[in-house]
Amino acid sequence: MAMLEIRNLHVSVGGEEILKGIDLAVDAGEVHAIMGPNGSGKSTLAKVLAGHDGYEVTQGEVLYEGEDLLELEPEERARKGVFLGFQYPVEIPGVANTYFLKAAVNAIRKHRGEGEIDAMEFLKHIREKMKLVKMDDALLKRPVNEGVSGGEKKRNEVFQMAVLEPKFAILDETDSGLDIDALRTVAEGVNVMRTPERGFLLITHYQRLLNYIQPDRVHVLLDGRVVKSGDKTLAEELEKSGYALFEDNAA
Amino acid sequence: MSASTKTIEELTRKGYEFGFVTDIEQESLPPGLNEDTVRFISAKKEEPEWLLEWRLEAFRNWLEMPLPNWAHVKYPPIDFQAISYFAAPKDQPKSLDEVDPKLLETYEKLGIPMHEREMLAGVQQRQVAVDAVFDSVSVGTTYKDKLAEKGIIFCSMSEAVREHPELVRKYLGTVVPKGDNFFAGLNSAVFSDGSFVYIPRGVRCPMELSTYFRMNAGHTGQFERTLIIAEEGAHVSYLEGCTAPMRDENQLHAAVVELVALDDAEIKYSTVQNWYPGDENGKGGIFNFVTKRGLCAGKRSKISWTQVETGSAITWKYPSCVLKGDDSVGEFYSVAVSRGHQQADTGTKMIHMGKNTRSTIIAKGISAGHGEQTYRGLVRVLPTANNARNYSQCDSMLIGDQCGAHTFPYIDAQHPGAQIEHEATTSRISEDQLFYCKQRGIGEEEAVSLIVNGFCRDVFKKLPMEFAVEAQKLLEVTLEDSVG
């Protein structure tokens, strides 16, 4: 069985159907990319998988390691290894990054029946991960996402992912707002984390991220439906011809 | 009782863990207030004639004073004849070794160290000297001898009146006059105990000083009186903590605190107030009507108030600074929480008299449940205060939709050179913030406390280390279950 299996997923917001029957299966060790224009339902999919309560699932199911994911609270999903890299990371004034990450690490450890992490061990762990995303040491003491640029926030999302070491990571437009160097760093961070045990779902508007992260599968999302799936050449095709190519299929 | 009501009850009780009563033989005055009450208290404390006269004058003056009604708080009328004005454990100890074990146990349960720890060789251990006030009397003060070696006086107010009458007479009522306001007037007439601190010239107090106020007896008011004097160049950091049992009736705590800082002296006064706030329906709880004021009498002197107010049914207090000395500095850092049916009307007054005087106000108010929170502050720059500066920041956070936050900043600038800045914000814990925390595995309650702690950070970092941790924990307990 696939690590994440989405079956006939229908999702509405305020009575309006956004996702109209998504079928998708991601195996451990795979990287899948979901591409689509604005308003196609990409971010809705990411948020539903993470457990945001602003969306109503009207049909279908999502299995994560064989378990009904939609039954779980957002924090339970996170503790079981589901990570969402936010499109718009949220500011938490006055809460230092280290403090925030430690709370998260300990919540996950507690769920696994492990004790709180030793302070020195924790520091060593996060220092190591900072190098991975070329992050400045000063960031650790700074409040979560406060007073930093959009690009820095995205880099911080990848840093958090590296620290929390999830089993399944969804990155929602992590590439948008990044300059080319930052994009490369973020991609390297993801590539280092690609292991046979971990699955990824990359949500992106542009093909350029996929120059740095080679996906196993690419899915095109249009108007709440996956209209085409293929290998990485599909992304290149999209880059050349645009989404118009698939619009007939969507209708 | 159904399972769910039981859970709710457990949760609301869990919110106040200091609500126990110490079963100890006490002697107390029957309820009632007249000149004889004042005479009794004064006689009980073997006070000199001048102090009895001072009290009586305060009492006669108080009888003429109307009850103030300008605060943004609602409460039933207080029957001043229904309160007992004196309660004390029957056996008065002569020294720390003789203190009733039940009392020591009480302080143990509250986490207050009443034993003087020996310094371990090679181990850096912070020492904290404690004066423990139980209802109307001080039951013990630690590290007195060690402090005396440096000429520091740290004792109960009653003892100070006996042992150092000249100092008490010189300073008592000089910062908060006995007719200052209704509750200060009442306190001046019937004040029982509190702490007295005197730091001699040029001395830096080698440890934190703290007073722990415990109200135990029912139907009793606590009228503490604290006086801290820092001579030229002296430094002291002082902390007070407060708790009380859970009782159905409201109890009055009307304290007066006076601080005097001479040239180049510095006083840092921190409060962690956790009086019983009343039950989930707003029944019971402490009325905390307090007058606190510091006088920066000397040049370059500094007084800093830091308060964390999480308890009391009603809090009504404005720790203030009178900046008389040139180049003196006043600071006020406050976190106040009102949840359940708590009401807080708190803030500060900064009175600039001297030249180049500076003041900073940072107030953080958190309202949850049906809590009502008011910041009220006055910044006054007198014509003598050339080049005075003030910066004020008042932030309110609302949790839920039944609570309220109000801000009443008064500014009175009588010198054209005054620079006064005021910033204010009101915020909520957003759904986005909660979702973000949850997505990282952090549960809802922990997320709320994390976000609230972040909101209060500017104030918490002003607290002495040991107490900053205590304050954070207190906030966690206080806000437990406040998000529905």
pLDDT tens-digit series, residues B279-292: 777 787 888 889 99
Chain A contacts of B438, Cβ < 8 Å? 51, 73-75, 78
The phi-psi region of residue B39 (left if phi > 0; otherwise alpha if psi is between -120 and 50; otherwise beta) is alpha
In this prediction, residues A179-189 reach a mean pLDDT of 86
ipTM of the complex: 0.95
The pLDDT tens digits of the residues spanning B442-462 come to 998 889 888 988 888 888 888
Chain A contacts of B451, Cβ < 8 Å? 92, 95
Q: How far apart are CA B349 and CA A177, in angstroms?
A: 47
Rounded to 5 degrees, φ, ψ at A64 are -120, 115
Minimum CA–CA partner of B459 in chain A: A94
Q: How far apart are CA B125 and CA B121, in angstroms?
A: 10
In this prediction, residues B480-484 reach a mean pLDDT of 53
**Beta carbons of B451 and A107 less than 8 Å apart:** no
The pLDDT tens digits of the residues spanning B318-348 come to 999 999 999 999 999 998 888 888 888 899 9
pLDDT, position A28: 95
Judged on CB neighbours under 10 Å (0-12, 13-18, 19+), A108 is buried
Q: Which element (helix H / strand E) includes A227?
A: strand A225-230
**Beta carbons of B451 and A84 less than 8 Å apart:** no
- Looking only at the bridges linking them, the beta strands covering B329-338 and A168-172 are unpaired
SS3 per residue for B71-107: CCCCCCCCCCCCCECCEEECCCCCCHHHCCHHHHHHH
What pLDDT band is residue B398 in, cutting at 50, 70 and 90? confident
Chain A contacts of B433, Cβ < 8 Å? 90-92
Nearest CB among A52, A94, A160 relative to B435 is that of A52
pLDDT, position B125: 45
Among all chains, which residue has been given the structure tokens 């500014």?
B411
Based on C-alpha coordinates, what's the Rg of chain A? 18
In this prediction, residues B155-177 reach a mean pLDDT of 93
User: Interior CA angle at B13 toward B7 and B14, to 5°?
Assistant: 85
Residue B371 is which amino acid?
G
Residue B439 is which amino acid?
Q
- Looking only at the bridges linking them, the beta strands covering B225-230 and B256-261 are parallel
- Please answer whether residues A1 and A63 qualify as being in contact, where contact means their C-beta atoms are separated by less than 8 angstroms: yes
Helix axes A119-132, A97-111, angle to 10 degrees: 110
Q: Which element (helix H / strand E) includes A225?
A: strand A225-230
In this prediction, residues B83-96 reach a mean pLDDT of 71
CA distance A36 to chain B (A): 24
Residue A168 is which amino acid?
F
The pLDDT tens digits of the residues spanning B201-212 come to 999 998 888 888
Q: Which element (helix H / strand E) includes B108?
A: helix B101-109
Share of residues in chain A with pLDDT > 70 (%): 98
pTM: 0.81
Helical residues (DSSP H) of B401-456, grouped into ranges: 431-439, 444-455
In this prediction, residues A136-141 reach a mean pLDDT of 85
**Beta carbons of B438 and A86 less than 8 Å apart:** no
**Beta carbons of A90 and B454 less than 8 Å apart:** no
What pLDDT band is residue B67 in, cutting at 50, 70 and 90? confident
The DSSP secondary-structure symbol of B203 reads P
What pLDDT band is residue B176 in, cutting at 50, 70 and 90? very high
Chain B contacts of A108, Cβ < 8 Å? 441
If you average pLDDT over every residue of chain A, what do you get?
A: 91
Share of residues in chain B with pLDDT > 70 (%): 80
The residue among B235 and B17 whose pLDDT is bigger is B235
Q: How far apart are CA B32 and CA B83, in angstroms?
A: 6
Nearest CB among A74, A79, A90 relative to B433 is that of A90
CA distance B126 to chain A (A): 22
CA distance A153 to chain B (A): 13
pLDDT, position A122: 93
**Beta carbons of A164 and B450 less than 8 Å apart:** no
Q: In Å, what is the CA distance from A59 to each residue of A9, A71, B16?
A: 6, 13, 46
CA distance A100 to chain B (A): 8
Q: How far apart are CA A140 and CA A167, in angstroms?
A: 24
In this prediction, residues A30-45 reach a mean pLDDT of 93
SS3 A2: coil
Share of residues in chain B with pLDDT > 90 (%): 41
pLDDT at B472 over 90: no
Q: In Å, what is the CA distance from A78 to each residue of A92, B437, B451?
A: 19, 10, 19
pLDDT at B302 over 60: yes
Rounded to 5 degrees, φ, ψ at B384 are -80, -15
pLDDT, position B477: 61
The pLDDT tens digits of the residues spanning A159-173 come to 999 999 999 999 999
pLDDT, position B484: 43
Minimum CA–CA partner of A112 in chain B: B441
In this prediction, residues B124-133 reach a mean pLDDT of 64
The phi-psi region of residue A92 (left if phi > 0; otherwise alpha if psi is between -120 and 50; otherwise beta) is beta
Interface of B with A (CB under 8 A): 430, 432-433, 435-444, 446, 450-451, 453-458
SS3 B279: coil
pLDDT at B89 over 80: no
Helical residues (DSSP H) of chain A, grouped into ranges: 42-50, 74-79, 97-111, 119-132, 150-164, 180-193, 233-241, 247-250
Q: Which of A5-9, B167-171, B320-324, B451-455 has the lowest mean pLDDT?
A: B451-455
pLDDT, position B247: 63
In this prediction, residues A83-106 reach a mean pLDDT of 94
